[in-house]
Amino acid sequence: MKPFRPYALPLSLILLFAFLVSPFSPVKKALTLPSKVPAYVMIDAGHGGYDPGVLSGDLRESDLTLAISKEVQAALREKNIVAVMTRTEDIDFAKPGMKGKVAKRADLDHRMNMAFEQGATLFLSLHVNVSPLASRGGAEVFYMEELPEAKKIAQFVQTKLHTLPEMTKRAAKPAKYYLLRKQPIPTLLIECGYLNLSGDRSRLISPPYQKKLAQAIAEGVQAYLESQ
């Protein structure tokens, strides 16, 4: 017969509660949903510094993401939405001497911490793609599956991207990228197009198109906020 332990149940409940409110708990994510307008948007220009991202001829992903991110920031600010950037120049956040996956993770962790420390309510990480398998181009919004809000924002942004006449219409999709798995606030990873496809390539390097793309992303964020 088991000894009667009057404190066993309360203790297990206390431990469960401690887990649920700990910084590692998935429940904490639900508590950090953007509940108020205005939002605090952190825009992450993907890659930079030691990591140029994908390369296509003389183009580097890190340069294009920075150019587009600056336009997204300007477009959001025009709508009176607070928008800051993880980087405004060609830098990374890995520590000297780090290499490969360790450097990449440290870089991404730093970007996520910036958002967390500043109390950002939405994180937008911008990228451009290269894929020899892609038969059609277009911008594509990826979101974290765990947060229903992230899916909603992704759908608003993807819908606004469809309003660009040149845009190949792709659907917003859930994905398991490191950023999308680890970031505790709603996060979108936006692949702005395919550099290896000539139509997308010529558009992505054009400043007027970068502006239009950024405007559509900002309109998507605004439409989401107004739907709240």
Instruction: Catalog residues that contact Zn ion under the rule CB under 5 A.
Output: 46, 53, 127
Nearest CA to 180 among 143, 219, 141, 133? 143
For the bound state, the minimum distance from the C-beta of residue 54 to Zn ion, rounded and expressed in Å, comes to 6
Q: Which amino acid is at 171?
A: A
Nearer to Zn ion, 204 or 225 (CB): 204
Nearer to Zn ion, 127 or 160 (CB): 127
Nearer to Zn ion, 112 or 225 (CB): 112
Nearer to Zn ion, 46 or 193 (CB): 46
For the bound state, the minimum distance from the C-beta of residue 191 to Zn ion, rounded and expressed in Å, comes to 7
For the bound state, the minimum distance from the C-beta of residue 97 to Zn ion, rounded and expressed in Å, comes to 23
Nearer to Zn ion, 39 or 54 (CB): 54
Nearer to Zn ion, 34 or 203 (CB): 203
For the bound state, the minimum distance from the C-beta of residue 81 to Zn ion, rounded and expressed in Å, comes to 24
For the bound state, the minimum distance from the C-beta of residue 47 to Zn ion, rounded and expressed in Å, comes to 6
For the bound state, the minimum distance from the C-beta of residue 62 to Zn ion, rounded and expressed in Å, comes to 8
Nearest CA to 179 among 227, 120, 107? 107
